[in-house]
Amino acid sequence: MNINSPIGFFDSGVGGLSVLSSFRKILPNEDIIYYGDLKNLPYGDKSQAQIIGFSKKILDFFEKKGVKAVVIACNTSSALAYESVKDHYGFKLYPVIQSCAKVISSMSVNRIGVFATQGTVTSGAYTRELTKYKPDLKVKEIACPHWVSIVEGLNSDINPEEDIKSKLEEMMEFSPDKIILGCTHYPYLLPVLTKFAPKELFINPADIFVDYIKSDLRVSGLLNPSASEGNENFYVSANPENFIEHSKIFYNIDKQVNLV
Ligand code: DGL
């Protein structure tokens, strides 16, 4: 492992590509390996033991690839698996929730809302991480089990706009100063969310996350000094065609997706 080694990204599916897309805008020269665990998605309704098992398998894969760091783009893995895996690997680990908590809690806010998957909400990870830095902060987490499928255009039995509006109404009763979109897919619902609430209310953690990763890589002496555009390789545990199809809303993949 050295400064020229690749950086791994992983998620249950295509959602982590939203983080990769933000990452590419500020670090275009890093080599990237992306892993989408389509065989096991969705992660949002799985048990903690399952999420730890999936995450370890993916991190073992990245270890064999000789990465210098892994970005845990998936909120659910960061919430349920990070604590169990963090000391087991010789590369840097960047979990989205833990990496963003300090910056978010330092904003001038007293009440924070979080929309996330059922697994993330049940874990209480956002509340735990945010209140580490600001113990008086009031946090309300609401699970939105349909939102991933809404973004991917898969739900036929619910009215997407009604579902989004009703979750937002429930959240607004808490009078949040800000609302974290705590799942990789949710920033893509901003066009609907902002029909009912101002854009400034929402936090897309990806922006804060990639700034954090860049500054930590720099401090750790791990930023790739190359001036040329980095390589990208994509791997999935199942359904490469499905991955390519659904990736289009998040990222432009112009190469073969490998099945592992
Ligand atoms: N990408 C996952 C997250 O950020 C959500 C998708 C899933 O449930 O698999 O939590």
Residue 246 sits at the vertex; the CA angle it makes with 244 and 252, to the nearest 5 degrees, is 60
Fold match flag (7-96+207-259 vs 99-205)? yes
CATH level 2 (architecture), domain 99-205: 3-Layer(aba) Sandwich (3.40)
Listed by start position, the domains of the chain span 7-96+207-259, 99-205
Q: What is the pLDDT of residue 60?
A: 98
Q: Is 15 in the pocket of ligand 1 (CB under 6 A)?
A: yes
Q: Is 143 in the pocket of ligand 1 (CB under 6 A)?
A: no
Q: Are 23 and 211 in contact (CB under 8 A)?
A: no
Q: What is the pLDDT of residue 155?
A: 66
Summarised one tens digit per residue, pLDDT across range 172-226 is: 999 999 999 999 999 999 999 999 999 999 999 999 999 999 999 999 999 999 9
Q: Is 43 in the pocket of ligand 1 (CB under 6 A)?
A: yes
Q: Residue 15 CA: which ligand 1 atom is closest?
A: 1
Summarised one tens digit per residue, pLDDT across range 71-93 is: 999 999 999 999 999 999 999 99
Read off the pLDDT band of 124 (50, 70, 90).
very high
- Number of residues that this document lists for the chain: 260
Q: Which of 9, 46, 47, 76 to mutate to test the pocket of ligand 1 (most atoms within 8 A of CB)?
A: 76
Query: What does each C-alpha distance from 124 to 43, 78, 131, 178, 239 come to in angstroms?
Result: 16, 11, 11, 17, 32
Q: Is 78 in the pocket of ligand 1 (CB under 6 A)?
A: no
Q: What is the largest CA-CA distance in the chain?
A: 50
Is pLDDT of 153 > 90?
no
CATH class of 7-96+207-259: alpha beta
